[in-house]
């Protein structure tokens, strides 16, 4: 098992390119199941554990995949299974993304229920509701979703989501693109990762209008074809790197991504006293001497993203006052708080709100990762903590960050990956 050993106190400064986005790559890879022939070439795919897990699932289903230098080559012409097994789905809940494409392509699939994760139950009822509206019969048995198209193919429908769901929007899109007739998705998620999926499906031949809005209209087509495609860049990785500069009083430029994908986060950085400038595909942040306490509330896009909530909390431990951090999406996404407090932070939890008392001097020690963004939060805290911080179980971090310690080293951090054995 690996840990990251961080000697804090170094300024993070310089220019770094963002990696491809994990949360658009996963549905895009799932959507390759929709093309019965041809070879996909997908660029800017990040080399992450979640991407490899998803690729393993597609190979289990019969896809042919090769992955090198951030380029994924996929052919799903010869599918041989319609089952997404528990052993793979349990590793990564985004495996549920095969539900829509397999129903659309094959008409039947068995997908293991993904179960919960470190910060809550993570239900999939909206995914199931959407498939039933499109004409699938769903039976939940023995921990599996058994889905079967009633009749010859899915039929277009109006689907109004009671809450904004990135995953359910993605699954409904991938089921609707070759359904019979028109599908309307109301209260659809508008995250950039969903917009990216729409562009990918359109390039494959899908007929989707309203892209970028909460109402998507899909006219079913008979056939989709394999294409070459450029994935978008990872706004959450970029936001995490910006936090690294802000917490160490540094200055950084992150290149590649559309800065508007982080508008709410850039606004929060500015409120905290950072100087933020943007170019066509770059963001530059210069940290102030003193950070101002800044409240944030995590809500669906274009609001402050829940995937940046833990990272923001690490930053606010250094602000000159009290900051309130609320998560309206995952009310229990606070496993990083006890570990931050072990580093010397002073953070209280009141229901789905954390109250961060700053500034607190942090002192390095061993801390335990519990989930992907919590581990990023602990790395950020380690960059500013005195002495040495050891972030354990960084397999959580490796799910969503590509070579993060190399990127931070290039920007001036004293950080290294070390193998270790856990005391049993
Ligand atoms: C996606 O998860 C992201 N994962 C998550 O990022 C992100 O935190 C989340 O969207 C919110 O932005 C990927 O894209 C692979 P949701 P997803 O459906 O699709 C509830 C990371 O760190 N809900 O938008 O699973 C749900 O419980 C990960 O990269 C239902 O009630 O999230 C939550 O409260 C973590 N029923 C809210 O909706 C459902 O059927 C939003 O969830 C589905 C969701």
Looking from the CA of residue 331, the nearest atom of ligand 1 is 34
> What's the CA-to-centroid distance between 413 and ligand 1, angstroms?
32
- Please write the tens of the pLDDT for every residue from 117-163: 777 778 899 999 999 999 999 999 999 999 999 999 999 999 999 99
Output the pLDDT for position 329. Answer: 96
Q: Which two tokens stand for residue 292?
A: 């101002």
Residue 7 CB neighbour total at 10 angstroms: 17
| CB of 122 sitting under 6 A from ligand 1 | yes
- The span from the CA of 289 to the CA of 308, in Å, is 22
Per the confidence metrics, is the pTM higher than 0.85? yes
Q: What angle do CA 305, 172, 136 make, to 5 degrees?
A: 145
SS3 282: strand
Burial class of 260 by CB neighbour count within 10 A (0 to 12, 13 to 18, 19+):
exposed
- The span from the CA of 177 to the CA of 174, in Å, is 6
> What's the CA-to-centroid distance between 93 and ligand 1, angstroms?
10
Contact 315, 288 (CB under 8 A): no
Nearest CA to ligand 1 atom 33: 329
Tell which one of 23, 53, 377, 404 to mutate to probe ligand 1, the residue whose CB is within 8 A of the most ligand atoms: 23
Q: Which two tokens stand for residue 212?
A: 């970028």
Q: Where are the beta strands (DSSP E) in 220-310?
A: 228-230, 251-255, 275-279, 282-286, 296-298
Tell which one of 161, 231, 329 to mutate to probe ligand 1, the residue whose CB is within 8 A of the most ligand atoms: 329
Q: Does 274 qualify as catalytic in the annotation? A: no
Looking from the CA of residue 371, the nearest atom of ligand 1 is 22
Sheet holding 158-160, edge to edge: 158-160, 182-186, 215-219, 207-209
Output the pLDDT for position 424. Answer: 77
Crossing angle of helices 372-384 and 235-247, rounded to 10°: 20
SS3 343: coil
For residue 38, CA distances in Å to 33, 64, 226, 399 come to 11, 11, 5, 29
Contact 212, 23 (CB under 8 A): no
> What's the CA-to-centroid distance between 113 and ligand 1, angstroms?
15
**Dihedral (CA of 256, 259, 261, 265) sign:** positive
**Dihedral (CA of 107, 207, 302, 408) sign:** positive
Domains and their CATH numbers in the chain: 2-19+233-419 (3.65.10.10), 22-230 (3.65.10.10)
Contact 248, 232 (CB under 8 A): no
Burial class of 2 by CB neighbour count within 10 A (0 to 12, 13 to 18, 19+):
middle
SS (H, E, C) 125-178: HHHHHHHHHCCEEEEEECCEEEEEECCCCCECCEEECCCCCHHHHHHHHHHHCC
| Host H or E run for residue 112 | strand 108-112
> What's the CA-to-centroid distance between 165 and ligand 1, angstroms?
6
Crossing angle of helices 263-271 and 235-247, rounded to 10°: 10
Looking at the predicted structure, is the pLDDT value of residue 201 above 90?
Answer: yes
Task: Sort strands 83-84 and 108-112 into parallel, antiparallel or unpaired.
Answer: parallel
Output the pLDDT for position 91. Answer: 86
Burial class of 68 by CB neighbour count within 10 A (0 to 12, 13 to 18, 19+):
exposed
Q: Which two tokens stand for residue 168?
A: 């359910």
- Name the H helices within 248-391: 263-271, 309-316, 336-342, 372-384
The mean pLDDT value of the chain amounts to: 96
- Please write the tens of the pLDDT for every residue from 313-322: 999 999 999 9
Confidence of residue 351 (pLDDT cuts 50, 70, 90): confident
Output the pLDDT for position 116. Answer: 65
| CB of 296 sitting under 6 A from ligand 1 | no
- Please write the tens of the pLDDT for every residue from 86-125: 988 888 889 999 999 999 999 999 999 986 677 777 889 9
- Please write the tens of the pLDDT for every residue from 30-86: 999 999 998 999 999 999 999 999 999 999 999 999 999 999 999 999 999 899 999
- Please write the tens of the pLDDT for every residue from 262-288: 999 999 999 999 999 999 999 999 999
SS3 302: coil
Looking at the predicted structure, is the pLDDT value of residue 217 above 70?
Answer: yes
- Please write the tens of the pLDDT for every residue from 356-402: 999 999 999 999 999 999 999 999 999 999 999 999 999 999 999 99
- The span from the CA of 3 to the CA of 340, in Å, is 17
């Amino acid at each position: 098992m690996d840990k990251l050993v961080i000697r804090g106190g170094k300024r993070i400064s310089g220019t770094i390119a963002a990696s491809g986005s994990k949360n658009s790559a996963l549905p895009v890879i799932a959507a390759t199941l929709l093309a019965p022939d041809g070879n996909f070439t997908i660029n800017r795919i990040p080399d992450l554990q979640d991407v490899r897990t998803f690729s393993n699932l597609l190979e289990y289903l019969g896809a042919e995949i090769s992955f090198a230098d951030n380029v994924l080559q996929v052919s799903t012409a010869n599918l041989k299974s319609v089952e997404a097994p528990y052993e793979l789905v349990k590793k990564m809940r985004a495996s549920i993304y095969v539900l829509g494409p397999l129903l659309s392509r094959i008409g039947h699939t068995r997908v293991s229920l993904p179960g919960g994760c470190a910060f809550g139950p993570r239900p999939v009822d909206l995914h199931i509701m959407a498939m039933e509206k499109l004409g699938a019969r769903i039976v939940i048995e023995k921990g599996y979703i058994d889905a079967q198209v009633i009749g010859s193919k899915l039929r277009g429908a109006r689907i109004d989501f009671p809450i904004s769901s990135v995953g359910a929007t993605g699954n409904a899109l991938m089921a609707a693109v070759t359904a019979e007739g028109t599908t309307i998705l109301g209260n659809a998620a508008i995250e950039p990762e969903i917009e990216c999926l729409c562009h990918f499906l359109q390039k494959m031949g899908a007929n989707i209008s309203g892209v970028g809005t909460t109402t998507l209209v899909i006219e079913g087509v008979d056939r989709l074809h394999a294409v070459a495609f450029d994935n978008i860049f990872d706004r959450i990785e970029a936001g995490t790197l910006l936090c690294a500069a802000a917490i160490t009083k540094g200055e950084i430029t992150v290149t590649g991504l559309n800065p508007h994908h982080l508008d709410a986060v850039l606004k929060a950085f500015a409120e905290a006293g950072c100087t933020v400038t943007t170019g066509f595909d770059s963001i530059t942040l210069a940290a102030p001497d003193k950070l101002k306490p800044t409240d944030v509330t995590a809500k669906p896009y274009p609001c402050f993203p829940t995937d940046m909530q833990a990272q923001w909390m690490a930053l606010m431990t250094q602000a000159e006052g009290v900051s309130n951090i609320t998560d309206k999406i995952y009310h229990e996404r606070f496993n990083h708080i006890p570990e931050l407090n072990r580093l010397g932070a002073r953070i209280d939890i009141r229901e789905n709100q954390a109250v961060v008392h700053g500034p607190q001097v942090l002192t390095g020690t061993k801390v335990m990762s519990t989930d992907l963004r919590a581990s990023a939060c602990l790395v950020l805290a380690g960059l500013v903590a005195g002495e040495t911080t050891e972030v354990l179980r960084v397999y959580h971090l490796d799910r969503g960050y590509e070579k993060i310690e190399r990127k931070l080293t290039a920007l001036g951090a004293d950080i290294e990956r070390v193998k270790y054995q856990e005391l049993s």
